[in-house]
Amino acid sequence: MARSIGMAADATVFRAVITMQNRDGETTTTYEGPYGSIGAARGRVSFWVNYLADRDPVTCQPTGTSRVSGYVERGTVAWQRVEESGQ
């Protein structure tokens, strides 16, 4: 997914680190970003926590737990020119 993050070469970027526990107990970690603001990355963590929230089997209401956890990482981007061959 393309992102428009026009910013200075040494600007700080953020990414969401999402850890999901599958129904078989296996965990998977994915990364989303980069984002130009910490709020955008936090929003992605919140989305997944809420989207995969555990639900009461009778009422289908969230129980307050989730199969997802996550956090935000901060970094900087080091841009390098790509050769014309695409390598």
One DSSP character per residue, 16-82 reads EEEEEE-TTS-EEEEEEEEESSHHHHHHHHHHHHHHTEEE-TTT--EEEEESEEEEEEEEE----PP
Per-residue pLDDT, averaged over 54-80, amounts to: 91
The answer to whether residue 3 is domain-embedded is: no
Q: For 35-60, b where at least 16 C-beta lie within 10 A, e where not — what string?
A: bbeeebbbebbeebbeeeeeeeeeee
> Is residue 83 a part of any domain in this protein?
no
Which of 85 and 61 is assigned the larger pLDDT? Answer: 61
pLDDT band at residue 2 using 50, 70 and 90 as cut-offs? very low
Q: Which residue has the higher pLDDT, 9 or 48?
A: 48
Q: Would residue 1 count as lying in a domain?
A: no
For residue 4, what pLDDT is reported?
Answer: 57
pLDDT class for 80, splitting at 50, 70, 90?
confident
* Residue range of the domain that includes 16: 12-76
Number of domains in the chain: 1
